[in-house]
Each structure stands twice: as structure tokens, then as C-alpha cells.
Chain A
Amino acid sequence: MSESPCDHDSPMWTPCNEDVNSLLCRSFPGDASYRELREEHLAPEAPVHIHAPQVFKNANLVHVISVEKNYVKESINVVIENIDKAAQDEYFIPFTADQVSRLGGVEVKDRKDATAGPFTAEVAEFDPTSDTQYLRIQLPTPLKSGAQQTLGINYYLLKAYKPLPAAIAQDEPQFLAYSFSAYAPSVYTTSKQKTEVKFPSTSIPDYTKLPGSGDIKEFPQKQGSKLTYGPFDEKPAGAVEPVEVRFEFTKPVTHISLLERDIEVSHWGGNVAFEERYTLYHRGANLSALFNRVKWSQSQYYNPNTYAIKELKFPLKVGSADAYYTDVIGNVSTSRFRSNKREALLEIKPRYPIFGGWKYPFTIGWNSDAKNFLRKLSGGGYVLNVPFLEGPKQVEGVEYEQALIRVVLPEGAENVKYYTTIPPSSISEVEVQTHKTFLDTIGRPAIVFKARNLVDDFRDRELVVTYDYPLSATLRKPLIVFASMMALFVSAWALGSVDLKFSSK
């Protein structure tokens, strides 16, 4: 087994390293930066002391890593078995601190029992100084001793890739590298496992090769755009086998570091206004030479496939209207908005093509009739049902490092409650603030959701807000405007009738 020679030293990958390096050196002779980058990338994956109690065993595990989009989607389907005497209800998965900061959208389900619903999964920190942190999965019913359960664990890792080479010419294809462990991360002994990696295309120039086992000579096996490491036999808890793959990804690596999404409900206008402010980065390969317009306009004709961001498409909810697209210096004219009975599609073109390392913040917004989202309950309250996240829908995917979703309710709304289908672990904070704007006296209640590490797979998740809106609050605004106008007229009249003349003296 290839693991045994590697296991002696603390940088357990040293023996394998030569192998990998020679492989990479072939493709990039003399590229020293690549080696450095690789080392830095792999180093944190050293085995560590495990805090979690050894109460489970992974009977069978399939780890699927999808690098098809510009974020990594991993799903671990595992049959767990309680090897302890007592019934257990907490299952742990280890991550490095770095991974935890980029981890998002964790959802755990019972593969056999769809009704069991998503299990609670949260990051549990045993030792803040340690590099290893754990995801604690709470089983809804404790697993009896010796019993088995099939878990389906899905999560996403953002900012997962390094472009390799880090700088390319503007018409070259882009390659990304991703490193991971061939063995699924686990704090328990794993009897049987395999790791599948799905790629966006069949162009995978480099990947770490491991000696095979059983009837397979060498891992991984390549089938089209898929690599399979394993099946491996029993591995101890915390076993790690660093692996790196490098694949072509001539698509933008769109990264949104901050999305601010405002949803403003107006009962008077019968309108729901959306505004989204994006801070967009391209995390792909930088330009090796400066931007060349001639080449760019030529490639537009001959080879439109590029890793630069040329266009973003926002499929909005049907009935959206008055879309706009601006940035910090005003309206951007290169957008198209099509709204009809079937669809409402906003297509925007940034002012300039966005290459790797470039940044482009922008704002879009639109309105929609309130009746598309808002319903009055029979009990007198209102219920607002909006998508938690909209944002661009791109083939290559979009990742959101931070999202700030703010739902502004009409002034005077009370008894505000919410419900969302976004994984709870993605939402870091929810608070109700007061937002003061046009002609407000006491301000409007606004629920602010702070979410992190989201991806565009969550586009369809709902956000439901219910609130009461008494009649007095409805009438507040016109009354106040009327009263202040009256006060103005009265004071003007009073001032006008004051006699300022001295002649009467």
C-alpha cells in the first residue's frame, strides 16, 4: 500500500512528492513558482490529533468531488455504523481551519429516508489554536449500538482553486489546480471508500497518480471527464493522501466577495423593490501581458471562448420591471432586459471584459408588483415570499463569499417572523434593524441576514417573512405629511400677519 512509506515522516507526502513534481516538471519545465505553490497548498493537510470519540465506523464511503464549476461541490455518501456500546447521535467530520473559513452550504440528509429532513450540522470548535476543526452532525434520533445509517453530506468549498500557470496571455486557455485528499476526511476508521472527481471537460493535463490496489494497477482511473481514486481498503482515522489535479477551465472564475441585496416592500406603492450590489472579482489566471484591445476584438470573432467575464445573465422572477444596471460612475448602457409573461431576463455586459485579478463592482435593481410576492393572510397579517438569493446564472457558476440580505418592511410593521430554506449553517447572523428613509418618522423594520459562502445553487431557496401591518401604520404616513404641510401653512400665515412696521409707533 502506498500509504505506508509516506506515513513515517510528518510531511507524509514527501515520497510521493517527487513523483508529482517530476510529473509537473514535464509539463512546465523550470516553473519554480508552481512547486512553491503546490507545497504551500498541500502542507496544511498533515494528520492531527483527533478529539472526537471513536464511536463510529464508516462502513462504506463514496466521496464525490465536483470541480465542474468555479467552486467545489463535495458530497460524501457514507454508511456509518455505531461501534460503541451506547447509542450515539453526534457524527464528526474534520476540516482544516482554512477550509472551514471557505466552507458553505452544508446539508446532511439520510439517504435512505427522505422524510428525515436535513440534519443539523454546525462547526464545532474543540481547540481554537488547532488547525483542525470539526463539523458536528446531529442525528435526529440516536443511532443504536451496531446499527447503520446512510448519510448524504453535501457541502461547498469556495476559493478552492489556484490558476496554474498563474498568468497567461489573454487568448490562452486557463488551467486551474485543486488539491485534496484521496481519502475522504474522517475522524473514524473507514473500511471501504472511493473518491470520484468530476471535471468540466476531458482536458485534464495533470493529476497525481497513486499506486493501485487490487486488480487496478494505478489510481486514478480516467473515464471521460471523471477521475476515480479507489476503491481503497480500510484506512485509519485521519488518514490523508494529498492529491492534486490540474484541469482546463477556460471560463471565468467569478467570485463575489460581497453581495448586498435589499428587498424593500411598499404597501402604498404596491411594489417590491430589489437592489443588489455586487463586488465581483475574477479569481482566475492573471494576464501575463497587459490587455490588448486588438487581440481582444479579433478573438471576439474567431474564438469567443475566453476566460474573461463578458456577460452576466440574471434570470429574474416573472413580472420584474424597470431593471437598471449601474456602477459607481453611473448607468452602464450595455445591458438588455427582456420581460414578458414567461421570463424576465436581465443580461448585463460589464464596461470592460474582466480578466483574472480584475475587479468590477456594480449594482443592479428592479421592481416587481407586490402581488407577485406578497399575500395577505386571513388572520390580518402579511406573508412575503421572495428568493433568498437571485444573482447571475452562469454555466460556470458563481460563488458568494459574503451576502447581506436585507428585507425592509413598511413602516409600522410588527411581529416580524421569518423562515428560510437556506442551510442554517450558512447564515451567520440575523437581526432586525430600523431603516429610515423617505418620510419616515419611526423608521422601518428591516431584517438583515448575514450569510457566508453561498453558491448559485441556492438561487431557488425561499425566504418567507411574515408580519402584521395594522391600519394605523398604514395611515401614519399621509397623516404626518398632511399635518406637517398644515403646520407649514399655519406658520407661514402667522409669520405673514406679524406686523413688522415701525410706522405705527
Chain B
Amino acid sequence: MAKSRNNRDVAPSAAATTQASVTSTSSTANITAPAATTTTAKSSKAAAKSSWDQMVLNIANHYTKSTPQRTKLLDAFMAFLVVVGALQFLYCILAGNYPFNAFLSGFSATVGQFVLTASLRIQTTEANKSDFPAVSPERAFADFVVCSLILHFFCVNFIN
């Protein structure tokens, strides 16, 4: 699990930095790439370093090329959620989970929000248009808002 989280971290954080400096996309991608490479390379023993480099590079390239501005905003938000979630988890491990419902509702709020945002992202992506004939981007956003409201209502209620 930890590794997967780590891996997912890579792409969005790259996204976040790219967003910060839109003008020099390729250079920032290059900067983050080695960092990502080292983390993944440590855990995977047999993989050739060059192919990993290549892969990550490809992903980054693909991302920067084909992602619209709005979606990047979403990605930034998702990355933020991942960080918050990781922090909560860390806190839980280090400081104990005493008010368990508080931890749980906080953590599920981040996870739930992440999932909802991911769904919104998927639904608004042009490439997935064929999968969602009935869902226009506006409709997707309305759904997203409604779902988030429900989610946070439950979380607040659960936190006591």
C-alpha cells in the first residue's frame, strides 16, 4: 500500500510543480523525475534504471501535453488531499488514534474527497467522453458538489 501511495504521489506532485511554472514545463519535469526515480528504484531491485527513467519521463510528458488547465487544478487538489491524508495517517501511527472516530472521519473525508475529485476528473476528461454519454461536464460538477456535501455532512456528524 505504502508503495502505491508513493507512486501516486509522484505524478501529482510533478503536476503541482509544473503548474507553478508553466513556462518551463520540460525543465521542471526533468528536475522531479530523478527524485521519483530514486524512490522507485530503491524498492524495485531488478528493474533497469534506464527503462524506469524512460517510463517516468513518458508519463510526465504525456501528462503535460494532454492535460488541460482545469484538470491540472483538480490534480493539484488531489495531490493536496494525498498529502493531508498521509499526514493524518502518520499522525495516527505516531500519536495514536485515540478519538478513533475523529481520526476516521478526518481520514475518510480526505479519501472520499480524493475519490470524488478523481471521479470528477475522469468524467471531465475528453478521452473518457465515450464512457459517459449521459454526463456532461456541468452535470459532473453538480454531482461532485452534491456528493461532497453529503460526504462532509456525514463526516461532521461522525466526528461528534
Contact = CB atoms under 8 A, between A and B. Distances in A.
In the complex, A touching B, CB below 8 Å?
yes
Interface of A: 501-503, 505
Interface in B118-139: 136, 138-139
Contacts of B142: 502
Contacts of A505: 138
Given A502-B142, A503-B136, 7 more contacts: A501-B139, A502-B136, A502-B138, A502-B139, A503-B138, A503-B139, A505-B138
B105 to A, nearest CB: 31
Nearest to A503: B136
A503 B142 CA distance: 12
Contacts, number: 9
A505 B138 CA distance: 9
Interface of B is mostly: helix
Contacts of B139: 501-503
By size class, the interface of chain B is under 10
A271 B10 CA distance: 80
Contacts of A502: 136, 138-139, 142
A498 to B, nearest CB: 14
Contacts of A501: 139
Interface in B42-76: none
A503 B133 CA distance: 12
A477 to B, nearest CB: 41
B146 to A, nearest CB: 12
A501 B142 CA distance: 10
9 contacts: A501-B139, A502-B136, A502-B138, A502-B139, A502-B142, A503-B136, A503-B138, A503-B139, A505-B138
Contacts of B136: 502-503
Nearest to A501: B139
B138 to A, nearest CB: 3
A71 B143 CA distance: 76
A503 B137 CA distance: 9
Nearest to B141: A502
A83 B75 CA distance: 113
Nearest to A502: B138
A505 B139 CA distance: 11
A505 B136 CA distance: 10
> A501, A502, A505: which has the most chain B beta carbons within 10 Å?
A502
Nearest to B140: A502
B136 to A, nearest CB: 5
Nearest to A505: B138
Contacts of A503: 136, 138-139
Contacts of B138: 502-503, 505
A502 B136 CA distance: 8
Interface string B96-120: 0000000000000000000000000
A505 B142 CA distance: 13
Interface in B20-57: none
